[in-house]
Structure 1
Amino acid sequence: MQALLPPTYYHTHFREMMAFVTGLYGDGLGLDEREFMARFEQLGEPAQCLYIRMVNRKTAIFRMRDLNYPEIGDIAAAMDQLTRHGFVRGLECGDYRACLDSMTKPDLVRLAKVAGLPDMRSNWSKGDMVAYVHDLLSYDNFTEIEDIGASFVPHFRERVGFLLYLYFGKLNDNLIDFTLRDLGILSVKARETHAARFESVDDARAGYFYRQRLSELKAKGIDPNPLAAQIETFPAALSDHSQGLRDRLLYRLGQGFEACKDYGRALDLYGRSQAFDSQERRIRLLYAQGAVDEVKALLDDIMANPAHDEAYIFADDFYSRKFGGRRTGVLTELLRSGRTVVVDDLYRGYPEAGAIQALSAEGWRGYHVENTLWPSLFWRVFHDELSTAPVCNDFDPVPKCLRDGRFHIDYADAVVAKIAAVRDGHIADILTPARPPDQEEERLWGEVIDAFVAHAAPCAIATVLEAFAHNYYGLRDGFPDLLLIRGDEVRFVEVKAEGDQIRRNQLARLNLLKSAGFDVEIVRLSYRIDPQQTYVVVDVETTGGRSIYDRVTEIGAVKVRGGEVIDVWQSLINPKRPIPAFITELTGITHDMVRDAPTFDQVADAFADFMEGAIFVAHNVNFDYGLISAEYRRIGRGFKHPKLCTCASMRKHYPGLSAYGLAPLSREFGIELIGHHRALNDAHAAAGLLALVNEQRALKE
């Protein structure tokens, strides 16, 4: 049952946020923040509630008619107190654009008509209307037409925004996470120890500035000139975090000027940024301008002092192609060197599943692990340290030491001891069931970890885990898609579908794994019709047609390979709810038949095993697939397979028929269908349609 919130829950959340920030930063808070909180405390609770209600909304301009909060009581009295204490103010010239933004399109049309601006059209977008009025109608003339006396603006929004930034570490304009926590929707595990996210409030203020400017630059068509003109007044970056934000802002500004073909300004901005992306763009622009000596010097510097592996790969590759005579890039050569594996055409969109299926013919057991295996293993090895390490707040469960890259420093003894234990082959002795807080648990995940550590070389595992201890966030992406295990062999495979490219971070991770001692490979997929592809033709019976509400009552499944039925699977399922009478009349499935049947969670493993490596086929496939996927979601599991719809495929390959339902098609093509609307019977009939579809697919390949 969902929790009920008290009427002024938002007031409790706001005060909780302020108390948390005060407890972490204390006297380090700036005068503005301390003054705001002191003045806030002087307000009565109704006025505090009204102020919080306003600043939690995106609306910039308010009128009394906008404020309808029964839990506050006397809104007018609360507003009067806010006005007397300076928490709200009347409109000023600087609010003009926001005031226009708050108007509806009909109001803007009326305003333009009264102001004598006849060119505006009612079919314009609101943004175009606002820009038109703002450019042609002065604020003074606007106030003569519109009654702004009853309008007001909440004061101190910037200070509230900064307090939220201190708490969340990102731009945030509300406390919705607190609400979701109290409703039980968002799972939050309280920690005993917390650490300030920022080294100082001044550093946080710099980060807040850069975050705001970056957010502004996201708008399409933004002019970079006004912001670029203020560069000399930008706040100093006092930490790696704020320096990273500053560098990103300079890079975005450089992109803006480059897009406008102002290459001189772009080069200047890229040169001011320490970000690798800026270095790369600067080198490419300089090379295009013929500044060969400067480019060589920059590349030499990167190769001598690379910020990370990707930077070195770029510099070495660029130098080799432009000055060393190599015709193709290292990434292209690497991709071309990969072997080609043929998979069924239906695996388009499911390349990893297709590769696993194809490589299983070589005896490999494949797992799609990508960027989840190593973080999960790292958390299982260092669970004791990570579970007690300070976090920045309870909504951000990743310890601060991981974000800052200090884990190997703050827990140096544990890192040395545990990496040594792993290298000596004792990893099983220190593993726990933990997983990264942002990673969902899957049924096979424990099996994957156990199989991996049982067969992989201990020294190789230790090398990669040690790299994670030093740079957890720097290694958060780019790892190969698949883990393959065959006997005592372990291999990592990067899968590339047609048209895919190798990225530099992927090459860097392949190099890391290879240098650690792992076997790595790149596989390129070629899509064809595979006559030996395995299909599972499925039909479900349910309590109704809505996957959100209704439940499965029966599953019938027929496994087909090479045009032959090789296995079947069937089960009645207890839906744990009444079966409507019209459903019983249609299917013949009664309450008595399912009363002692297993529930879905009791058959989920068996059905998943039956589906392994197969393509999911059904007549009107989205219905059956959607119902089964919903059942797996209810038990916290995923369900993902390539799909084929026999209804849509028959329409494509056999056009012009009078009807494409399962029964009419079965009659048309002489397919036996006895006991229609029982799952296994319908699945057998759909398997007959699959054979017809595959005949046509093979002819048209």
Structure 2
Amino acid sequence: MPFQLFSDLCWNCSKELLGSCSVSPRPAVTLKPRYYLDHFEEMLEFVLTRYPHVIADGHRRFAESFQALNLDARCLYVRLVNRKGNVFLRDYLHYEEINDISSAINELRAADFVRSVHPSDYRDLLRIHTRDTIAKRIRQHVFPPDVKLPRLSSARKAELIDFSMAELPFEEICTSGTVDPFFAQAKTEELGYFLFLYFGRLQSSLNEFALRDLGVMKTLEFKQEFKPRFNSLEIALAAYHYHKILQGLYEASADRIEQFIADAPEWPTNDDMEISTLRGRAINKLGTWLERHNDPRALAIHQLSDQFPSTERTVRLLMKEGRSGEASVLLSRLIENPSCDQELLFAEDFYERKFNKKKVGRLTSLLRESPVVFIDESQRNYPEGAVIRLLAGQGTEAWHTENVIWSQLFGLTFWDLLFSDENVVIHNPFDRISKDLGTGQFYQNHKNAIESKLAEFATPNSVIEQLHETFNSHHGSPNHLVSWSDDLFALTTRLVQLAPHGALAHVLRDLTQQWQARRNGFPDLMIIEKNQVRFSEIKAEGDSLRRNQLAQLERLKRAAFPVEVMRVEWIVDPEQDYVVVDVETTGGNTQWNRVTEIGAVRVRNGEIIEEWSSLINPQRRIPSKIVSLTGITDDMVAEAPVFADIADEFRAFLDGAVFVAHRAKFDYGFIKTEYERIDQEFRCPTLCTVVETRRHFPGLPSYSLANLSNHFRIALNSHHRALCDARATAEILLKINEKRMTQQEK
């Protein structure tokens, strides 16, 4: 029987993503010329009406000032809000529906909605210039002799921006021969706060409104009354504060980090659960940043929080500093009063290993003790599917359900409490889930109704009847829990029929109490054999068992479900074909760079039986440093085929083989991206010779291709040319497979 994959379902379509996701063509929708202004004013009115208690005087003045602008100025301001970046050039602004853009800019200046550009806007200012313009300004400027210029002919725009930020004076860019041609958006704090109140996250545009009007994004038509997101100005401002910190930590400068460290002890605290969670996330993120940069202040920052995972980091850092007594006290406290399942698992396991001298942790022990299945490595790109095929050959049904079947059952069981009940906490038409589910208050808010529904699971047929009614009544409604797939629904009803008595009520109750913490980590496979259901976590070679996965296995076991961990080890078949691939590229990042050469050799039965190679025109210049490395020049690829021209031929050469490469993530990633650029999917079982040589030849000083070739006495005469490197990698593969075959025979 063909296996079923339910972990990648399209939420609002009954087709699986493995196939084509076909939908009926939508009728053409034309947006009004000033649709964006309507959307902005809709958002503003929504917030002003529902959030008067959390709007400060400055926010109210922002709304009043905006409403006092003339039509052109209002339109231009919203156009600027929806554009990328914060700095604008008058010459780039052209909108047919705005009669006089210059006058609109002047009115916005007079009302302080736009302002002159400041040095703090330098990066945004650079971003609106073309790469060539920035390079030209760098050429024109006279730098001190010790400043090393980038290669202006080949450097990416991002590199030129970074160099300009460090070495090129702000004034060199902020001029174009006219008077103050650049301006920046002002009142960004006030605008950001209004958008935050509406969406509950930091957002700079209203794209959802346009997608709604175009029919692309469905909204909650069955819900018209929306509750305010915050009950007080203090809580709203604290939440906004933490969201800005969390965003700021993604790309914070050294100065910004220092400010965060200085301010962290005074960050706002509150009994509100959401604020406590946000504060814990911000502290953990800051502490983790400091750890990554080997900053000893990380411990002091983590100690500001009593939430996991900062508590784990505190224990580990205390042990690292030799303060085992303090670590022991904290571990005992965490074991006695854990904040979540993962914290308890960590504390118990760590205490046993460090203080009771247990050599191996629970995760490793469970994995080592798990049964092993041996499967041909031609299926190594999808171990879950490989096990499903193996079981199918034995007459056993299995599906890759992971988290999705539990989300399906949860959403259908509690649909009315999540979406239809008058107490549902939904804040705007774009929300997909009740807020109390995320804050852990769902069970408390609906305890009697939840227990009543769980009691019905004593009679599975009545539950299935109710699930059918809900599925049919709300089919197609937008949400983040239920997929409207008939196949998945049928499987969900089988789970209800076959689950041990009381097991589903146990699991669902757990989910209602801590949805955010417990919605992930469910075992990969649902298996039905002789009318009994069990769940299996699949781990291939090199995979580790995560803490949340162990927690789910233990919860399911307590609920009376049979559970297991199954290890997959790949069998080496001498008749299996391998295609060893090497690619040369214009650089290391798949987003910006392209392939310049592909070399591939086919291996079977310990021999190279076929070769394929081609230069590829990358349709961009090759940086000089890459030319120095590979010897591949622009002239060499000028007449070469583009990737689209060789895509079918290369795919045919790979057919039926395992894709092998040295640092396979790099080569496979570039090939996959090149196929994506021509709208083709690329999937192939993959083997990395770096990973495998580390496993089978431990202790070597280096696992680079050059060093391994030297160690194994393999010829590498034209290193960094694709076919030469592919041949050398193929020889390394043969050494690896010799080892694997020997171990396999034992």
TM-score of the superposed pair, with normalisation by structure 1:
0.72
Are residue 366 (structure 1) and residue 409 (structure 2) matched? no
How far apart are 1:45 and its partner, in Å?
Answer: 1.9
What's 1:206 paired with? Answer: 238
- Which residue pairs with 1:404 in the alignment? 439
Q: Is the 8 A contact 2:507 2:559 kept in 1?
A: yes
- Residue matched to 1:490: 533
Specify whether residues 202 and 146 from structure 1 end up closer, same or farther in structure 2 by C-alpha distance, changes over 3 A only.
farther
With over 3 angstroms needed to count, the CA separation of the structure-2 counterparts of 1:642 and 1:96, relative to structure 1, is closer
Deviation per CA, 1:460-484: give whole Å up to 9, x if none.
1111111112122221100001111
Paired residue type of 2:97: E
Q: Does 1:527 align with 2:570?
A: yes
* Residue 292 (structure 2) aligns with: 259
RMSD: 3.3
Report Cα offsets for 1:360-410 as digits up to 9, x if no partner: 344421111100111211122122222312412221221122122222222
Is 2:408–2:481's contact at 8 Å kept on the other side of the alignment?
Answer: no
Inter-CA distance 216–62: structure 2 relative to 1 (3 Å threshold): same
Q: Does 1:428 align with 2:438?
A: no
* Paired residue type of 1:39: S
- Which residue is 2:385 aligned to? 353
Q: Which has the higher contact order (CA 8 A, sep 6+)?
A: 2
CA contact (8 A) 1:61 1:102 kept: yes
1:345 Cα offset (Å): 1.8
1:132 Cα deviation after fit? 4.3
Q: 1:295 aligns with which of 324, 327, 331?
A: 327
**Distance in 2 between residues matched to 1:644 and 1:471, nearest whole Å:** 37
Q: Which runs of 4+ in 1 moved over 6 A?
A: 140-146, 617-622, 640-645, 698-701
Name the residue aligned to 2:263.
230
**Cα contact 1:492–1:520 (8 A) shared by 2:** yes
How far is the alpha carbon of 1:125 from its aligned partner? 4.5
Aligned to 1:43: 69
User: Helix, strand or coil: the match of 2:484?
Assistant: coil
Name the residue aligned to 1:244.
277
Give the secondary structure class of the aligned counterpart of 1:69.
Answer: coil
How far did residue 517 of structure 1 move?
0.8
2:364 to 332, 337, 341: 332
Do the aligned residues in 2 keep the contact of 1:350 with 1:642 (CA within 8 Å)? no
State the 1:106 CA deviation: 3.4
Q: Give yes or no for contact 2:455–2:505 (8 Å, CA) kept in 1.
A: yes
Aligned partner of 1:461 among 500, 504, 514: 504
Moved more, 101-110 or 312-321: 101-110
Q: For residue 600 of structure 1, what is the aligned residue in structure 2?
A: none
Shift, 1:313, TM fit:
0.6
Determine helix, strand or coil for the equivalent of 1:276: coil
Describe the shift of the 1:458–1:21 C-alpha distance in structure 2 as closer, same or farther (beyond 3 A). Answer: farther
Percent pairwise identity: 33
TM-score scaled by structure 2?
0.68
Deviation at 1:238, TM superposition (A): 5.6
List gaps (5 residues or longer) in structure 1: 534-616, 623-639, 646-697
Supply the AA of the counterpart residue of 2:555: L
The alpha-carbon deviation at position 442 of structure 1 amounts to 3.3
What are the Cα deviations for residues 117-164 of structure 1, in whole angstroms up to 9, with x where unaligned?
264342444445445444455556876886552322221122112211
Residue 137 and residue 25 in structure 1: after superposition, are their counterparts in 2 closer, same or farther (change >3 A)? Answer: same
- 1:167 equivalent to 2:198? Answer yes
Residue number in structure 2 paired with 1:63? 89
Indicate the larger mover: 6-15 or 397-406: 397-406
Inter-CA distance 231–641: structure 2 relative to 1 (3 Å threshold):
closer
Deviating more after overlay: 124-133 vs 266-275: 124-133
- CA–CA separation in structure 1 for the residues paired with 2:294 and 2:46: 48
Partner of 1:557: none
The one of 189, 211, 220 aligned to 2:220: 189
Of residues 545, 557, 560, the one that matches 1:514 is: 557
Number of the residue aligned with 1:449: 492
State the shift of 1:324 in Å.
1.2
Asked whether the equivalents of residues 204 and 242 of structure 1 are also in contact (C-alpha less than 8 Å), the reply is no
Aligned residue for 1:6? 32
User: Retained in 1: the 8 A contact 2:443–2:512?
Assistant: yes
Alignment counterpart, residue 437 of structure 1, candidates 440, 465, 480: 480
Partner SS state of residue 315, structure 1: helix
* Cα 1:253–1:404 shift into 2, 3 Å: closer
2:374 corresponds to which residue?
342
How far apart are residue 68 of structure 1 and its match? 0.2
Alpha-carbon distance, 1:307 to partner: 0.7
Cα distance 1:448–1:149, how it changes in 2: closer, same or farther (>3 A)?
Answer: same
Cα distance in 2, alignment partners of residues 530 and 362 from structure 1: 21
How far is the alpha carbon of 1:234 from its aligned partner? 3.1
Residue among 527, 533, 544 paired with 1:501? 544
Residues 104-119 of structure 1: matches in 2 within 5 Å?
A: 104-117=130-143, 119=147
Q: Match of 1:195, SS?
A: coil
Alignment match, 1:322: 354
Q: CA deviation at 1:40?
A: 0.8
Which residue is 1:670 aligned to?
none
Q: Structure 1 76/144 Cα, relative in aligned 2: closer, same or farther at 3 Å?
A: closer
Query: Which structure would you say has the larger Rg?
Result: 1
Q: Against the structure 1 CA distance between its residues 124 and 345, is the aligned structure 2 distance closer, same or farther, given a 3 Å change threshold?
A: closer
- Separation in structure 2 between the aligned mates of residue 642 and residue 72 of structure 1, nearest angstrom: 49
Aligned equivalents of 2:652 and 2:119: distance in 1?
63
Q: What's 1:541 paired with? A: none
Whether the 8 Å contact between 1:494 and 1:521 is mirrored in structure 2 is: yes
SS where residue 522 of structure 1 aligns? Answer: strand
1:19-38 matched pairs, under 5 angstroms: 19-38=45-64
CA distance in 2, matches of 1:483, 1:142: 60
Residue 156 of structure 1 corresponds to 187
Determine which of 75, 79, 96 is the counterpart of 2:105: 79
Greater shift after overlay, 39-48 or 73-82? 73-82
Structure 2 Cα separation of the partners of residues 641 and 372 of structure 1: 25
Secondary structure of 2:288's aligned partner: helix
- 1:267–1:75 distance in 2 versus 1, CA, 3 Å: same
Q: CA deviation at 1:457?
A: 1.7
**Could you tell me how far 1:240 is from its partner in structure 2?**
2.1
1:478 pairs with one of 512, 516, 521:
521
SS in structure 2 at match of 1:116: coil
User: Which runs of 5 or more structure 2 residues have no equivalent in the other structure?
Assistant: 1-26, 577-650, 657-680, 687-739
Larger displacement relative to structure 2 (134-143 or 421-430): 134-143
Give the whole-Å Cα distance in 1 for the aligned partners of 2:654 and 2:327: 59
* Aligned AA (1:167): Y
SS in structure 2 at match of 1:468: helix
After TM superposition, the structure 1 = structure 2 runs for residues 551-590 of structure 1, keeping only pairs within 5 Å, are none
Distance 1:699 1:257 in 2: 45
CA distance in 1, matches of 2:652, 2:126: 54
Look up the equivalent residue of 2:438 and give its one-letter code: R
- Deviation sequence 1:89-137 (CA, Å, 0-9, x none): 2233443454344333433344345442264342444445445444455
Q: Deviations over 1:437-470 (max 9, x none)?
A: 3554334212211211111123011111111121
Cα distance, 1:94–1:146 mapped onto 2, change above 3 Å: farther
Count of aligned residue pairs for this structure pair:
551
Please say if residues 73 and 104 of structure 2, whose CA atoms lie closer than 8 Å, have aligned partners that are also in contact. Answer: yes
Equivalent position SS for 2:389 = helix
Residue of structure 1 in register with 2:414 after alignment: 382
Query: Does structure 2 retain, via aligned residues, the 8 Å contact 1:483–1:492?
Result: yes
